[in-house]
């Protein structure tokens, strides 16, 4: 028998005991979704730091329990009193972000219960308020799917991700044993047994030889459950490779029954065999791979560069540009896509980031029947208040485009989170999406995006139908037409936002409508 996953076939002889599974009920969309943006993650980091801060203040009351406090602080690797930039950098890394979400969702309520017993209910009342703000299960699952999206979009290896290697850059961080177990469990719940096997395999390799009794007393011992889950995931995935005629459901049913009836000695023996044949297990887990989509190829920056494009100074759109021309870069001539550089300043970004206080979860899809849970794209807010900063930006748009629009039209502010992305879509009315204000102003003739932050890795804007990728550059803007001169939709304007690998992606978006351009941009002859 070939070693590796195929050795799990012995489980078929271990008996059949049915074990029913349950699914957690999904929370309402209206609840806080920290994973959707760095703005949300900063709020969550503050919750965890406030929790730890309060425990430090309770140190004198803990007495002999002070060791418990040290243990808690060590598990969260907390650095109190970080400055704002350090906090942004921390939550902008997807590994830190997932670990923060997992700790606060899974561990913080358990530490809360433990310290409440140590301190007394009245003394720990302030902790009650903080624990009410922990992320939901849906939030944690969204972050796990974001990690998976980063992995698949950019063709990363889970083994590298867990060690802090993101593309070609090594970060001095990594996922903890409990983080790995959680990711394995969440992928298992999504019935992605290949991914679950990868994460569980790494958890086995990271599993501490000597368990901390106090931590296991408070948080529980993951080893008591995940070993069996690991074997079930490998068995189900291995069956899909060796016997494609069997459905995933049939393979899982066989694995569930076999592992349920296995003794602990059987489990220990199988785990020992898996460790001895780890190289073969790894090879099999990475054997099955889907080819990249056009969107994913674009996100990786692998489109063939366009030819005969130029950069120049632009000075003919408005009289003002004769005195202060703009730096202009052609991205595509047909359809027309262009960038203007150094058109958004730090003073501008300070003005609109104040809008982040009222940002809400943004979704790619409209609700059909009001029951489905949708993926978050980012956190959004609509900049509607009149200010000098907004007036300057509006004037800059007119200088760049030469198009007309009302100064009262809204500007969208967006901030992205853990692996969040915007799937390929059109800005004009299409595919069940009706453009706001279309009856009054016409469809969206053009779009303009200001990049308000640098993104070290990922986060590109991609036009998959014409093989164009634009990576964010702080202070620059991207402009394109969605419609032809006569108002017909141009399907080549389909675009998407790639998931951020590492960084804090902020954008401003303005849509320019058709009707106000009647005399400014008449139909071509």
Residue 376 lies in a domain: yes
pLDDT of residue 246: 85
The pLDDT, as a whole number, for residue 12 is: 39
User: How does pLDDT run across 478-503, given as a tens digit for each residue?
Assistant: 999 999 988 899 999 999 999 999 99
What CATH number does the domain containing 382 carry? 2.60.120.620
Which residues lie below 8 Å from residue 369, measured CB to CB, with a gap of 6+? none
Let me know if residue 356 belongs to a domain.
Answer: yes
d(CA 416, CA 498): 10
Q: Tell me the pLDDT of the chain (525 aa) as tens digits.
A: 343 445 444 343 333 323 333 344 345 666 788 999 999 999 999 999 999 888 887 776 777 677 777 888 777 766 666 788 899 999 999 999 999 999 999 999 999 998 888 777 776 778 899 999 999 999 999 999 999 999 999 999 999 999 999 998 999 999 999 999 999 999 999 999 999 999 999 999 999 877 788 888 899 999 889 999 999 999 999 888 888 888 888 888 888 888 888 888 999 999 999 999 999 999 999 988 889 999 999 999 999 988 889 999 999 888 889 899 999 999 999 999 999 999 999 888 887 776 666 788 887 666 555 555 677 888 888 888 778 888 889 999 999 999 988 877 788 999 999 999 999 999 998 876 778 877 788 899 999 999 999 999 999 999 999 999 999 999 999 999 999 988 899 999 999 999 999 999 999 999 999 988 887 776 665
Instruction: Please give the residue range of the domain that contains residue 493.
Output: 294-517
CA–CA separation, 447 and 444 (whole Å) = 7
Tell me which H or E stretch contains 68. helix 66-75
CA distances from 15 to 11, 246, 272 (A): 8, 19, 21
Residue 250: C-alpha distances to residues 72, 243, 245 (Å) = 42, 11, 10
The total number of structural domains that make up the chain: 1
Helix or strand run (H / E) with residue 313: strand 311-314
d(CA 428, CA 407): 21
Asked whether 143 and 419 are in contact (CB, 8 A), the reply is: yes
* Distinct helix (H) and strand (E) counts, the chain: 20, 17
Q: Would you state the pLDDT for residue 232?
A: 94
Confirm if 150 and 458 have CB atoms less than 8 A apart. Answer: yes
Would you say residue 276 lies in a domain? no
Within-domain flag for 185: no
Q: Report pTM.
A: 0.90
According to the model, what pLDDT value does residue 205 have? 93
Residue 491 belongs to a domain? yes
Burial group, residue 246, by CB count within 10 angstroms (0-12, 13-18, 19+) = middle
Residue 282 domain-assigned (yes or no): no
Predicted confidence at residue 523, as pLDDT, reads: 64
Residue 379, strand partner residues:
361, 415
392 in a structural domain: yes
Instruction: Tell me whether residue 409 is in a domain.
Output: yes
């Amino acid at each position: 028998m070939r070693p590796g996953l195929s050795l799990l076939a012995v489980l078929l002889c271990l008996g059949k005991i049915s074990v029913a599974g349950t699914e957690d009920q999904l929370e309402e969309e209206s609840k806080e979704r920290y994973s959707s943006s760095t703005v949300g993650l900063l709020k969550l980091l503050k919750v965890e730091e406030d929790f730890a801060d309060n425990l430090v203040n309770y140190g004198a009351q803990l007495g002999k329990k002070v060791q418990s406090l040290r243990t808690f602080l060590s598990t969260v690797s907390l650095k109190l009193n970080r400055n704002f930039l350090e906090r942004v950098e921390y939550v902008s890394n997807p590994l830190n972000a997932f670990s923060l979400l997992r700790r606060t969702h899974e561990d913080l309520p358990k530490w809360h219960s433990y310290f409440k017993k140590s301190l007394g209910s009245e003394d720990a009342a302030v902790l009650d308020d903080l624990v009410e703000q922990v992320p939901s299960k849906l939030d944690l699952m969204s972050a796990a799917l974001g990690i998976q999206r980063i992995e698949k979009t950019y063709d990363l290896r889970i083994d590298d991700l867990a060690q802090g290697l993101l593309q070609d850059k090594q970060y001095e961080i990594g996922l903890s044993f409990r983080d790995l177990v959680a990711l394995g469990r969440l992928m298992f719940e999504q019935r992605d047994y290949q991914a679950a096997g990868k994460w569980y395999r790494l958890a086995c390799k990271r599993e501490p030889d000597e368990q901390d009794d106090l931590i296991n007393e408070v948080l529980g011992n993951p080893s008591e459950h995940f070993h069996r889950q690991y074997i079930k995931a490998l068995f189900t995935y291995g069956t899909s490779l060796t016997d494609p005629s069997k459905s995933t459901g049939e393979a899982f049913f066989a694995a569930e029954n076999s592992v349920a009836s296995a003794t602990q000695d059987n489990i220990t023996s199988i785990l020992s065999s898996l460790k001895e044949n780890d190289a073969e297990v790894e090879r099999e887990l990475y054997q099955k791979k889907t080819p990249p989509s056009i969107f994913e190829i674009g996100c990786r920056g692998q489109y063939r560069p366009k030819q005969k494009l130029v950069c120049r100074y632009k000075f003919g759109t408005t009289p003002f540009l004769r005195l202060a021309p703009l730096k202009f870069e052609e991205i595509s001539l047909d359809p027309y896509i262009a960038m203007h550089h150094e058109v958004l300043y730090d003073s501008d970004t300070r003005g609109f980031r104040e809008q982040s206080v009222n940002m809400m979860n943004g979704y790619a899809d409209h609700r059909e029947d009001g029951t489905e849970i949708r993926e978050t794209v980012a956190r959004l807010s609509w900049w509607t208040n009149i200010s000098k900063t907004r007036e300057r930006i509006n004037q800059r748009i007119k200088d760049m485009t030469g198009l007309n629009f009302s100064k009262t039209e809204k500007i969208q502010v967006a901030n992205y989170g853990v692996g969040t992305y915007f799937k390929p879509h059109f800005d004009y009315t299409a595919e069940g999406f009706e453009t706001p204000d279309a009856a009054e102003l016409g469809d969206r003739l053009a779009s303009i995006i200001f990049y308000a932050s640098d993104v070290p890795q990922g986060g590109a804007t991609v036009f998959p139908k014409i093989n164009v990728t634009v990576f964010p550059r702080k202070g620059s803007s991207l402009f394109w037409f969605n419609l032809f001169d006569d108002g017909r939709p141009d399907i080549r304007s389909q675009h998407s936002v790639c998931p951020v690998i590492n960084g804090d992606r902020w954008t401003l978006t303005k849509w320019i409508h058709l009707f106000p351009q009647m005399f400014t941009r008449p139909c071509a002859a």
